[in-house]
Amino acid sequence: MKHLITILLSCILLASCTKNDPPGWKFPDMSQVPKTPEGDKIRFGKELISHTNVHIGPYAENPARRFAGNNLECGNCHIDAGTRPNTLGFVGVYLLFPAYSGRVDTIISIRQRINDCMVRSMNGRPLPLESYEMECIVSYYKWISTEVSKQVPEKYDGLRKLKLLDRAADPNLGRMIYNRKCNTCHAENGAGAYLTGNIEKGFDIPAVWGIDSYNNGAGMFRLITAAEFIKAKMPYYNADLTDEEAWDVAAYVISKPRPHLTGVENDFPDLNEKPVDCPFPPYADSLSAERHKYGPFTGLSGKFPK
Ligand code: HEC
Ligand code: HEC
């Protein structure tokens, strides 16, 4: 009986997933990548997203290639190398750039956008714009975006929107949820776990805060982004949080210490472009950084994620 229910449930879930996928969505099939020099770049681009730490992490074999400052992999947030919808997917992203970036109030290239994640999510330094690694990541993006119609690329990436809370998200409530649903994997101290317990081998389970995590300038340090990601994918294998739990546990995660990026107060020079949940001043309104960090967001200045 139990099995039957599980099977039934998975069918319903599968059906609804398919229904919610963007029209024309097509998983990129890596076996179709041509066996050519360009194909090699595409495959290595995917490898860089999936095993970032091996090639450009703080313990990469070649010291000159140590660009990331933490042991995260791009794919820890851009799930399955960005091939899934609603978990920061990359399918179609190639078509979105060049694009306006409110953070610097100017048009940026896809390479500059990659480097934003290198400096913030990866707490590292930028990849040289003409480096082989950069070429390969862009080749991969280009290839997985080929099937996407130009009219709808924005539907392929990003996160599914959560209804906003009408109260502040609560790190104290979040701590209880974390200790019930997350610490078996990410550890009570947020540090995750290393393969064979050895930092040089990289993460088995990535850190969610602390010195080997993303820094305070990262998108994942903003409440709305973190809550939407967590709601979509965590707990891994069993993403069953209510919206409210996702908000509170995200608040707990971003309340914890992590690497500090200097100069974040200079981001978003046009304050009207600043995301509403940016956790550092100045703002176009006179409300507190605390309110912008945890909400409630109604009545605040700033942009909501698209
Ligand atoms: C800690 C999580 C995390 C990690 C690790 C990470 N990113 Fe991101 N990335 C994000 C988030 C969150 C966004 C959306 C940012 C926002 O909303 O401001 C994003 C956005 C992007 C975008 C723009 C996507 C779009 O649709 O506009 C690119 C390109 C990107 N990341 C590349 C990378 C690459 C390459 C790496 C590894 C070198 C990486 N990211 C590592 C969290 C992460
Ligand atoms: C079964 C183990 C497991 C559980 C339980 C789990 N996670 Fe994760 N989490 C992962 C793995 C593995 C990844 C990396 C995903 C990947 O690489 O595909 C991850 C990635 C993340 C990330 C993005 C990467 C980073 O390091 O910041 C966040 C944020 C996160 N988890 C938060 C949570 C929260 C909050 C909970 C509890 C609600 C939770 N996770 C429960 C295994 C788990």
Residue at 306 is within a domain: no
- Which residue, among 166, 199, 208, 245, has the nearest Cα to 71 in the 3D structure? 199
Q: Could you report the average pLDDT of every consecutive run of 10 residues in the chain (306 residues)?
A: 38 40 68 96 98 98 98 97 90 91 98 98 98 98 82 68 96 98 98 97 98 98 98 97 98 98 97 97 97 97 90
Q: Tell me the C-alpha to C-alpha distance, in Å, between residue 101 and each of 98, 105, 151, 220, 258.
A: 9, 6, 20, 17, 24
Structural domain count of the chain: 2
Residue at 137 is within a domain: yes
Does 48 share its domain with 125? yes
Does 38 share its domain with 136? yes
Q: Any bridge partners for residue 108, and if so which?
A: 99
Q: Say which ligand is closest to the CA of 175.
A: 2
Does 146 share its domain with 118? yes
Does 175 share its domain with 154? no
Does 132 share its domain with 229? no
Residue at 27 is within a domain: no
- Which residue, among 166, 181, 142, 151, has the nearest Cα to 41 in the 3D structure? 142
pLDDT at 86: 86
Helix (H) or strand (E) holding 55: helix 52-56
Residue at 258 is within a domain: yes
Q: What angle do CA 14, 16, 22 make, to 5 degrees?
A: 105
Residues 6+ apart with CB under 8 A from 11: none
254 touches 226 (CB < 8 A): yes
Q: Any bridge partners for residue 193, and if so which?
A: 205
Is 164 buried (19+), middle (13-18) or exposed (0-12) by CB count in 10 A? middle
Q: Is the dihedral of CA 276, 111, 233, 173 positive or negative?
A: negative
Does 78 share its domain with 187? no
Does 39 share its domain with 152? yes
Residue at 106 is within a domain: yes
Pocket test for ligand 2, best of 236, 238, 249 (most atoms within 8 A of CB): 236
Among residues 123, 158, 193, the one where a domain terminates is: 158
Residue at 99 is within a domain: yes
Does 106 share its domain with 60? yes
Among residues 101, 132, 158, the one where a domain terminates is: 158
Q: How many CB atoms lie within 10 A of CB 120?
A: 22
- List pocket residues of ligand 2, CB cut-off 6 Å: 72, 75-77, 79, 181-182, 184-186, 205-208, 220, 230, 234-237, 241, 249, 253
CATH number at residue 90: 1.10.760.10
Residue at 128 is within a domain: yes
Q: Is the dihedral of CA 44, 46, 48, 50 positive or negative?
A: negative
Does 118 share its domain with 186? no
Q: Tell me the C-alpha to C-alpha distance, in Å, between residue 72 and each of 109, 168, 297.
A: 23, 29, 30
Does 208 share its domain with 145? no
Does 223 share its domain with 146? no
Among residues 133, 158, 183, the one where a domain terminates is: 158
What ranges make up the beta strands (E) of 95-192? 99-101, 106-108, 158-159
Q: Is the dihedral of CA 114, 116, 122, 123 positive or negative?
A: positive
73 touches 206 (CB < 8 A): yes
- Predicted TM-score (pTM) of the model is 0.93
ω into 275 cis (within 30 of 0): no
Residue at 23 is within a domain: no
| Minimal-distance CA residue to ligand 1 atom 9 | 117
Tell me which residue range forms the domain holding 240: 171-294
Does 216 share its domain with 256? yes
Separation between Cα atoms, residue 49 and residue 262, nearest integer Å = 26
Q: How far is the CA of 36 from the centre of ligand 1 (A)?
A: 28
